[in-house]
Amino acid sequence: MIAYAPRVSTTRTYRTCPLCEATCGLAIDLGGDDGREVRGVRGDEADPFSRGYLCPKAYGLKALHEDPDRLRMPLVRGTDGELHEASWDDAFAVTLERLGAIKAKHGADAIAVYLGNPSAHSLDAMIYGQVFLRTLGSKQRYSASSADQLPKMVTAALMFGGALTIPVPDLDRTQHLLVLGANPLASNGSLTTAPDVSGRLDQLRARGGTIVVVDPRRTESAERADEHVAIRPGGDAAFLLAIVHVLFAEGLVRLGACEGRVRGLDEVKAIAARFAPERVAARTGIDAAIIRRLARAHAAAPAAACYGRIGTTCQEFGTLASWAVDLVNVLTGNLDRAGGAMFTTPAAMTGRNRKRSDARFGRFVSKVKGLPEMFGELPVAALADEIESSDEARPRAIVTIAGNPLVSAPGAGRMARAFAALEFRVAVDPYVNATTRLADVILPPPSPLERSHYDVALYQLAVRNVARYSAPTFAPTPGRPAEWEILLTLAKGMMGMAAAPLAMADDFAVRELVARELADLTEAGTPAPVDAAGALAALGARRGPARVVDALLRLGPYGDGFGARPGGLTLDVLERDHPHGIDLGALEPRLPGLLRTGDGLVDLAPALVVDDLPRLEAALDVAPPDLVLVGRRDLRSNTSWMHNLTPLIKGPDRCTLRVHPTDAARLGLADGGSARVTSRAGEVVAPVEVSDELRPGVVSLPHGFGHDLPGVRMGVARAHAGVNVNLVSDEAFVDVPSGNAAFNGVPVTIVPS
C-alpha cells in the first residue's frame, strides 16, 4: 500500500455527503476513545452551496460506517462453494489469475464490466474505474447509465457536443419551471445538483414563480406545484412536441441566446407541424386545450426552464423526450440565459478542453439484440443476451463495481440466470447483495468516511458553480486498500504488471491523464502551461484521486494553470482556505464557446433522434395498454444497499404496489391485500396500497428491493426484503435509439393474490 498521511481527527469534521446528487455539506462530530466514533451528523451551516441543509439519508452515513454487514475483508469462494474471508493478497491473486486466464484464452471481450450508480458518487471509482477499463480493453462495458440517464447524455452530445453538456434549470432565478417525470422533493434533484431543492422551489414560488409538474403520479413535487398534469407514461415526447407545435403555430418561437447559433430550425418546424395537440391528446392523456395553455404560459414567462428526468429517460421514447425538453428550452429563448436552462462551469472536469464531439455512437453493436454502443458502452438491457449468446467472444466473466444489476437492471430473473452461467464473477462492493452473493471474489472498498471526495461528475450539473474537497474523515484502516488501490491493482494486473509497485502504476496513470488534458489544450489552440512530467512534479506528494483532482483544478477555469495564473485555485488552496467549499458564482452564459458540435451550432434536429420519430408517430395511433407499471422514488432511498441501514428503512413497508381506487375496484384488489403483477419478463407478488395519487391505468412499485435471495448477507434489508420490481421490467422494452431500459410504462396484468 502507498504510505498515507492521516488527517488528524478533530471533534468536528466537514465533508460532502456522497449519498445522492445534491452534494450537501455535512458537519460530522466525532468522539470515542480513538476519535473514530461518529457522534452526530448535521448540515454544515457554512457550506456556501447547501447552507446547512441535509436530508434524512445523511444520517445513514453513520449507519453505513458502522454496519456489521459491510465487508471489511475480501471474500473468496472456496471449494465448498461458499464465500470465505481471505487475505487481500490471496483475493487479488485468485482474481488476476482467473481473469488473466479467461482473457488469454478468449480475449478481452470475454470479461464484462458493470459500473453501478454509486460509482458516480465515488471519486476513487470515477477516476480509477476508467483506468481499469482502459487497461482491460473490453468492449463488454456496461453501467447504470443505460438504466438511468443515457438518453439525456445522447441528446446532449448530439445537440451540444458533450455527453455531460446537459443544461440544468437555473432554479434560483427561474420564474416558471416545467418538470416532467421528476420528483425532486424525493430525489433531491437529479442531473441537477441542487442542495435543498425543496427550499429552492419554495423560493421560486415565493418570488411569484410557478411550477408545473407533468407526471402520471401526483408525487410529492406535484403536490407542491401550482399545477399537476397527469400524463400517460411514455407520452412526454409527444406532449413536448405538441408544445413546440403551439410555439410555431402561434408565433411564439424566440431563440434568445441561440439566435444565429442553431441549425435544423426549419426541420423542427416541419416535425412539430405533425404533432398538433389534438393529435397527441389520446396518447398523452392530456386535453389539447391544456397543452396549448401550458405552451403559452411557458413562452410568456419572463424566464422559464423545462426539466425532465427519469420518467422522460427510462421509457420507450427516452431519446425523443430528452431532445424535446431542450427544444422547448431553445425555442422559448430560455437556453443559456439567467432563469432558463443553463450550463455549469465546473472547476474540475476531465476533457474540458476537448474540441471534438462526444457524439460517437454505434461503433459496434451487441451481438444478439444489435443494440448500439453508446460512449464506449453497451446498454445493460443487452447484458443477459450477450452472456447467454453462443458467440465464441461472449462474456465469460464479469467485474461489477458498486453495482447490483440483479436488482437494478431490467429483466432481473433473466439476468440472474445469465450471471449464474458465467465462469467467474468479481465484485468490488462492500456488501453481499443479490448480485455479489453469486461472486467468486468480493473486494470491499472502505467506508465513504475513509475516503477523499470531490464530485467531479455532479459539479458539472450544479445550479451554481461550486467546488468542495473532502479529505478522509478517518485515516484508512492499515492493511485495507482504498477503492482506487483495488482498481489500480486490478488494472496493472490485467496489464501483466502485477508485481509493479502501485506507486509506479499510479504515476503512470496520472501522467497519462494529465498528458491527455494538456494535449486537448494544445489542440484547442491554448499553449499548455507545463508538460506532463512538469505537471507531475508540481503536483507534489499527493497520490491517488486527490492528485488527479489537484491537476484538474489547476487546469480548470479557476485554476492557477500550474503557475500561469498566480492566485488561482489549487487543491491546497481549496483545502486550506475553503474547508466548507467555495462558491464560484451563479451560472453564466456559455454559448457559443461551450459547443463542440463541429460547426459550433446547436443541432436542433440530429439524425439519430429524428429517425426515431416514425416510431413515436405510430404509437400515437395505437390504443395504450390497459395497465402499465412505473417506478417510485423515496426520500430515504437511492440505491439498494441503503435498505440495509436502519435509519433509512425503518417505518411502514415502502415496497407496495400503489393502485388507483378505480383500478383496484375493477381488478378486485383491496388495500392491504396482495396482487400478482405479471409482464412478458416475469412476475412478482406485492402488497397493495390503494391510492388516488396515480393516474387510472397506472400502477407503481419502487425499485431496489428483493433482498431475500439465498446467500444475501444484509440482515436489515432482508427484514424489509420487498419485491424486486425488475423481475417485471423487461429487458426487451427499451428506448430504441439509446438502448436505455424502459422501466416506466411496462405493460402488466394484475390479479389478486
Contact in structure between 181 and 309 (CB atoms under 8 Å): yes
With CB under 6 A as the rule, give the number of residues binding ligand SF4: 12
Q: Please count the helices (runs of H) and the strands (runs of E) in the chain.
A: 26, 29
The answer to whether 514 contacts ligand SF4 (rule: CB under 6 A) is no
The answer to whether 17 contacts ligand SF4 (rule: CB under 6 A) is yes
User: β-pairing, 372-374 with 397-401?
Assistant: unpaired
Q: How far is the CB of 233 from ligand SF4 (least distance, A)?
A: 26
Considering beta carbons, is residue 161 or 195 the nearer one to ligand SF4?
195
In the range 641-670, which residues lie near ligand SF4 by CB under 6 A?
none
Of the candidates 681, 640, 637, which has an alpha carbon nearest to the alpha carbon of residue 404? 640
Q: How far is the CB of 343 from ligand SF4 (least distance, A)?
A: 22
Fill in the per-residue mask, 58 to 97: x = in contact with ligand SF4 (CB under 6 A), - = not in contact.
x---------------------------------------
Q: Is 668 exposed, middle or buried (CB count within 10 Å of its CB: 0-12, 13-18, 19+)?
A: exposed
Selected binder of ligand SF4 within 13, 14, 15, 23 (CB under 6 A): 23
Q: How far is the CB of 352 from ligand SF4 (least distance, A)?
A: 24
Considering beta carbons, is residue 448 or 472 the nearer one to ligand SF4?
448
Considering beta carbons, is residue 220 or 550 the nearer one to ligand SF4?
220
Contact in structure between 659 and 675 (CB atoms under 8 Å): yes
Strands (E), 133-226: 141-143, 168-169, 176-180, 210-214
Q: How far is the CB of 219 from ligand SF4 (least distance, A)?
A: 17
Q: How far is the CB of 18 from ligand SF4 (least distance, A)?
A: 7
Contact in structure between 744 and 726 (CB atoms under 8 Å): no
Considering beta carbons, is residue 58 or 242 the nearer one to ligand SF4?
58
Considering beta carbons, is residue 188 or 221 the nearer one to ligand SF4?
188
Q: Which stretch binds ligand SF4 (CB under 6 A): 22-30, 146-154, 159-167, 554-562?
A: 22-30
Fill in the per-residue mask, 162 to 191: x = in contact with ligand SF4 (CB under 6 A), - = not in contact.
--------------------------x---
Considering beta carbons, is residue 135 or 638 the nearer one to ligand SF4?
638
In the range 26-65, which residues lie near ligand SF4 by CB under 6 A?
54-55, 57-58
CA–CA dist 737, 27 (Å, integer)? 44
CA–CA dist 380, 732 (Å, integer)? 11
Cis peptide upstream of residue 445 (ω within 30 degrees of 0): no
Residue 377 pairs with which residues in a beta bridge? 374
Of the candidates 201, 321, 257, which has an alpha carbon nearest to the alpha carbon of residue 591? 257
CA–CA dist 372, 364 (Å, integer)? 6
The answer to whether 22 contacts ligand SF4 (rule: CB under 6 A) is yes
Q: Is 592 exposed, middle or buried (CB count within 10 Å of its CB: 0-12, 13-18, 19+)?
A: middle
Considering beta carbons, is residue 17 or 398 the nearer one to ligand SF4?
17
Contact in structure between 359 and 153 (CB atoms under 8 Å): no
Considering beta carbons, is residue 202 or 626 the nearer one to ligand SF4?
202
Q: 3-class DSSP state for residue 363?
A: strand
Could you tell me the CA-to-CA distances from 250 to 292, 300, 490, 605, 738 in Å, in that order? 10, 12, 59, 21, 33
Considering beta carbons, is residue 23 or 319 the nearer one to ligand SF4?
23
Q: How far is the CB of 54 from ligand SF4 (least distance, A)?
A: 4
- Give the interface with ligand SF4 as residue ranges (CB under 6 A): 17, 19-20, 22-24, 54-55, 57-58, 188, 195
